[in-house]
């Protein structure tokens, strides 16, 4: 059974950090790209970052570039999203998703991903 489970969300003050985890089961990370998406209240789901399968290329939205870092641990079959210098506008439910190999012009498209986790909530507030 292909499954993704996110964890690591919480409440943090502006300027703080969080690390989200996306644990995959039923498939290996070499075969799929993993994207991190987020959805704020009343807004559409948007791509934050993605790491490709075999090549481990990484992609970031302009809004998080320089602050977020995506990585993966193949031994644990887990993808991480390290989020630093968090801002109130980063408040959202964060989802990880798996899809076929992504590229710079496709990684942010929600409909290209086949499997989604249940989401983890991140709140940035003083």
CA 102 to chain centre: 14
Residue-wise pLDDT tens digits, 77-119: 999 999 999 999 999 999 999 998 888 889 999 999 999 999 9
The conformational region for residue 54 under phi > 0 = left, psi -120 to 50 = alpha, else beta, is alpha
Determine the pLDDT at residue 17: 98
Q: Find the length of the chain.
A: 126
* 106 secondary structure, DSSP code: T
Residue 100 has a pLDDT of 87
Residues 6+ apart with CB under 8 A from 55: none
Continuous segment of H or E residues that includes residue 124: strand 120-124
**pLDDT tens for residues 7-46?**
999 999 999 999 999 999 999 888 899 999 999 999 999 9
pLDDT on residue 54: 76
DSSP string, 23-78: EEESS-GGGSEEEEEEE-TTS--EEEEEE-SSS--EEE-TTTTTTEEEEEETTTTE
- Taking the C-alpha atoms of residue 14 and residue 85, their distance in angstroms, rounded to an integer, is 7
Per-residue pLDDT for 2 more than 80? yes
pLDDT at 30: 85
């Amino acid at each position: 059974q292909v499954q993704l489970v996110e964890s690591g969300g919480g409440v943090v003050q502006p300027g703080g950090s969080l690390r989200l985890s996306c644990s995959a089961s039923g498939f290996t990370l070499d075969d799929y790209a993993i994207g991190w998406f987020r959805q704020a209240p009343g807004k559409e789901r948007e791509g934050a970052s993605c790491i490709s399968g075999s090549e481990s290329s990484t992609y970031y939205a302009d809004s998080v570039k320089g602050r977020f870092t995506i990585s993966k641990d193949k031994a644990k079959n887990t993808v991480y999203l390290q989020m630093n210098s968090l801002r109130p506008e980063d408040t959202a439910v964060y989802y990880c998703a798996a899809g076929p190999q992504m590229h710079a012009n496709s990684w942010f498209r929600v409909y290209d991903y086949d499997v989604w986790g249940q989401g983890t909530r991140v709140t940035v507030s003083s």
